[in-house]
């Protein structure tokens, strides 16, 4: 049986004066309650402990989900009390440690035991009003933890952490409401032959408000596509309401057969009669997927971009005056011919004004549009917003809509490809071999090189995942490919049950520091459809790439 070392005698610290106590507690009421920055809240609290306890040292572990903790360390480095907290101070401000406090003297961190010097450190739980433990405050010497002044400060700290947690919950709830409102006003993506559509929106600095940047797209009865992008002067729900009024008015005029060059003028007459203060820039597009011909009419909006697969970018001049201005209307219609895999990019001015220099913003947008010319429309839209706004102050909403022509290559005399299948034992070496065999199969038919590269990357990620999850049995995995009209389907099967994370419901990229999951994101980003089937122990993942084979 072991004994704890004897407790050393302490020389009591001088208590703070009543003036100091009153001053610190009054400042706590001002500084802690309603503080939205968690670092400032906790670090000020630790500094206040030191002031109330004549230089005592303090650290705090905030309990997170699943018992994980984030640590804050503060105190007077020059006192010998700092040695008493050295096991904690050695951790530094390290996030994400799994921990538990044992008998007030021992901490278990990720399976390791860290002992506190017996009798030298107090571990004080910080509880909220409902009794929930927010975390643990460690103080040396322990006498500092039980003074009435420190106890009052701990009460302030618990209440402030209660408020902070409720604020985060409220912001998350408000953010979800705003997100649902924005999604409710967005039109569903229409089905248009040989056309790939994508959009991405980024709000201003506050994610808890709606804005006046909006788009509308609609498959017309004659098979053509109507597209409109609107930017309202103003923010908030009223701006969203005005933007909806503009898009709906333009849609009704289009369905009524209004000539494209007269749509902006007619919309101005209707809208400003009801709302004289409304002001909006807009671009209206009429697109024929059968021929790739697009007509563009503007109303004071930034110039759309015509992007070709080789990276060539051209601004489309579509002059006009905004709705709400005297003489509002388009100065004619601009014709644009989209060839196979060409894109038309329409955006709002928040994207190019983020640098405060519009010409610089246009140059950055053109540069990134060139670099992402072969991306699927949805992922190009996201990439443009993320890259152009990287490091910029987001003072305004930003919206990008991408329209890409996805017609099959020109007809050839080649015979249809026979289905491809390669069954293999799941090993690392099999990934490279299966990829090369698939490449040989694709090169027997003139699939464009950039789309071949996409198919090979998708296949590599699928095979790598199958190797990771398969049992390792001989012939436990298979790669298959076949053609359906102008589409190519890639399928990988394994006998390991497969990951439950394959279905990715949205196009959000995974965190940059995530070790796994980026391959799954790439598969979804480069495919026009991903399906997963499980039959007993076997899992099959199937991806489709549209319009890559020549019409016959």
Instruction: Report the CATH number at residue 127.
Output: 3.30.450.40
Q: Which pLDDT score is estimated for 90?
A: 53
> Do 400 and 260 share a structural domain?
yes
Residues facing residue 61 across a β-bridge: 71, 136
CA distances, 89 to each of 72, 140, 488 (Å): 9, 12, 58
The verdict on 526 and 440 lying in the same domain is yes
CB 192 within 8 A of CB 219: yes
Q: What pLDDT was estimated at residue 279? A: 94
Tens-digit pLDDT profile for residues 133-188 = 888 888 777 666 667 888 888 888 888 888 888 887 877 676 566 666 666 778 88
Q: In the prediction, which pLDDT does 138 show? A: 80
Distance separating alpha carbons of residues 267 and 284, to the nearest angstrom: 12
- Spatial neighbors of 94 by CB under 8 A, at least 6 apart, are 70, 71
CA atoms within 13 A on the CB side of 386: 11
In 3D space, the residue among 11, 172, 3, 170 whose CA is nearest the CA of residue 80 turns out to be 11
Question: Are 351 and 304 in contact, with CB atoms under 8 Å apart?
Answer: no
Q: What is the pTM of this model?
A: 0.60
Residue 159 and residue 196 in one domain: no
Q: Please tell me the predicted confidence (pLDDT) of residue 512.
A: 46
Q: Give every residue of the chain whose pLDDT is below 70, as ranges.
A: 1-15, 55, 64-69, 74-120, 142-146, 172, 174-183, 204-211, 355, 392-395, 410-417, 446, 497-518, 551-552
Q: Is the domain of 197 the same as that of 150?
A: no
| Radius of gyration in angstroms for the set of CA atoms belonging to the chain, rounded to a whole number | 31
| DSSP secondary structure letters along 148-212 | HHHHHHHHHHHHHHHHHHHHHHHHHHHHHHHHHHHHHHSPPPP--TTEEEEEEEE--S-TTS-EE
| pLDDT in the model for residue 97 | 47
The verdict on 376 and 443 lying in the same domain is no
pLDDT tens-digit map of 27-54: 888 888 878 888 888 888 888 888 887 7
- What's the CATH code of the domain at 492? 3.30.565.10
In a domain, 552, yes or no: no
Whether residues 247 and 375 fall in one domain: yes
Q: Is residue 372 part of a domain?
A: yes
CA atoms within 13 A on the CB side of 461: 23
Among residues 104, 139, 173, which one ends one of the domains? Answer: 173
Residue 380 belongs to a domain with what CATH number? 3.60.40.10
Return the pLDDT at 76: 47
Please say which residue of 405, 435, 451 terminates a domain: 405
Helices (H), 111-147: none
Residue 367 tokens read as: 């540069």
Using DSSP, state whether 529 is helix, strand or coil: strand
Distance in angstroms (rounded) separating the CA atoms of residues 174 and 545:
38
CB 41 within 8 A of CB 70: no
User: What is the C-alpha to C-alpha distance for residues 254 and 224, in angstroms, rounded to an integer?
Assistant: 11
Joined together, the tokens standing for residue 396 give 């305004």
Residue 5 forms part of a structural domain: no
Q: Is residue 415 part of a domain?
A: no
228 bridge partner residues: 216, 284
Do residues 103 and 203 both lie within one domain? no
For residue 359, being part of any structural domain is answered with: yes
Note the pLDDT of residue 142: 66
**What are residue 343's DSSP bridge partners?**
307, 404
On whether residue 112 sits in a domain, the answer given is: yes
Domain housing 250: 187-405
Nearest CA-CA partner of 142 in 62, 54, 56, 61: 56
Residue 3 lies in a domain: no
User: Helix, strand, coil: what percent of the chain each, to 5?
Assistant: 35, 30, 40
Residues 401 and 497 in one domain: no
Of the candidates 164, 156, 206, 154, the one whose C-alpha atom is nearest the C-alpha of residue 39 is 164
Same domain, 131 and 203: no
What residues form DSSP beta bridges with 347?
400
Is the domain of 104 the same as that of 157? yes
Backbone angles phi, psi at 486, to 5 degrees: -95, 0
Q: Which of 298, 317, 291, 321 is CA-nearest to residue 306?
A: 317
Torsion angle (degrees, nearest 10) of CA 78, 81, 82, 85? -170
Q: Please give the pLDDT value at position 251.
A: 96
Residue count (the chain): 552
**Three-state secondary structure call for residue 40:** helix
Pair of tokens at residue 533: 């089937």
State the pairing for strand pair 305-307/487-494.
unpaired
End residue of a domain, out of 173, 200, 234: 173
The pLDDT value recorded for residue 198 is 92
- Is residue 208 in a domain? yes
Helix (H, G, I), strand (E, B) or coil at 111: coil
Residues 152, 25: one domain? yes
Residues 252 and 335 grouped into a single domain: yes
DSSP per-residue codes, 203-236: --S-TTS-EEEEEEEEE-TTS-EEEEEEEEEEEH
Count structural domains, the chain: 3
């Amino acid at each position: 049986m072991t004994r704890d070392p004897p407790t050393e005698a302490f020389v009591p610290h001088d208590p703070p004066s009543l003036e100091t106590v009153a001053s610190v507690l009054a400042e706590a009421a001002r500084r802690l309650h309603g503080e939205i920055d968690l670092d400032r809240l906790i670090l000020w609290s630790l500094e206040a402990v030191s002031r109330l306890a004549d230089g005592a040292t303090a650290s705090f572990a905030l309990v997170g989900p699943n018992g994980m903790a984030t640590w804050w360390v503060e105190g007077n480095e020059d006192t010998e009390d700092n040695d008493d907290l050295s096991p904690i101070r050695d951790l530094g401000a390290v996030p994400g440690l799994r921990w538990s406090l044992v008998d007030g003297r021992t901490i278990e961190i990720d399976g390791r035991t860290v002992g506190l010097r017996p009798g030298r450190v107090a571990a004080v739980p910080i509880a909220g009003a409902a009794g929930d433990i927010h975390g643990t405050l460690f103080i040396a010497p322990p006498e500092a933890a039980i003074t009435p002044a420190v106890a009052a400060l701990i009460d302030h700290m618990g209440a402030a952490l209660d408020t902070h947690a409720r604020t985060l919950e409220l912001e998350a709830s408000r953010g979800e409401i705003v997100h649902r409102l924005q999604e409710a006003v967005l039109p569903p993506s229409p089905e248009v032959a040989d056309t790939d559509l994508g959009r991405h929106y980024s709000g201003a600095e506050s994610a808890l408000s709606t804005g006046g940047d909006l788009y509308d797209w609609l498959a017309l009865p004659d098979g053509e596509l109507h597209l409109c992008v609107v930017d309202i002067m103003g923010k908030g729900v009223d701006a969203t309401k005005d933007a909806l009024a503009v898009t709906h008015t333009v849609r009704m005029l289009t369905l009524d057969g209004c000539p494209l060059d007269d749509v902006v003028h007619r919309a101005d007459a209707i809208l400003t009669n009801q709302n004289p203060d409304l002001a909006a820039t807009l671009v209206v597009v009429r697109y024929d997927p059968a021929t790739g011909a697009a007509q563009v009419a503007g109303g004071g909006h930034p110039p759309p971009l015509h992007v070709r697969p080789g990276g060539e970018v051209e601004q489309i001049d579509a002059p006009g005056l905004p709705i709400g201005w005297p003489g509002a209307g388009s100065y004619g219609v601009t014709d644009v011919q989209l060839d196979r895999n060409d894109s038309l990019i329409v955006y709002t001015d928040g994207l190019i004004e983020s640098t405060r220099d519009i010409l610089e913003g246009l140059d950055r947008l053109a540069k990134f549009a060139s670099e992402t010319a072969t991306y699927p429309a949805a992922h190009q839209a996201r990439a443009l917003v993320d890259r152009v706004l990287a490091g910029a102050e987001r003072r305004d909403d930003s919206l990008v809509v991408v329209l890409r022509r996805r017609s099959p290559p020109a007809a050839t005399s080649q015979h249809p490809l026979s289905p491809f299948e390669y069954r293999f034992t799941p090993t690392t070496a099999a990934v490279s071999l299966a990829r090369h065999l698939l490449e040989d199969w694709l090169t027997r038919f003139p699939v464009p090189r950039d789309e071949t590269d996409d198919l090979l990357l998708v296949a590599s990620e699928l095979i790598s995942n199958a190797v990771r999850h398969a049992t390792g049995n001989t012939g436990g995995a298979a790669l298959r490919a076949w053609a359906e009209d102008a589409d190519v389907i890639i399928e990988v099967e394994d006998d390991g049950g497969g990951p439950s994370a394959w279905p990715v419901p949205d196009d959000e990229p995974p965190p940059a520091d995530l070790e796994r999951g980026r391959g799954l994101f790439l598969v979804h980003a480069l495919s026009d459809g991903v399906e997963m089937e499980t039959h007993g122990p076997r899992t099959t993942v199937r991806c489709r790439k549209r319009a890559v084979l020549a019409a016959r």
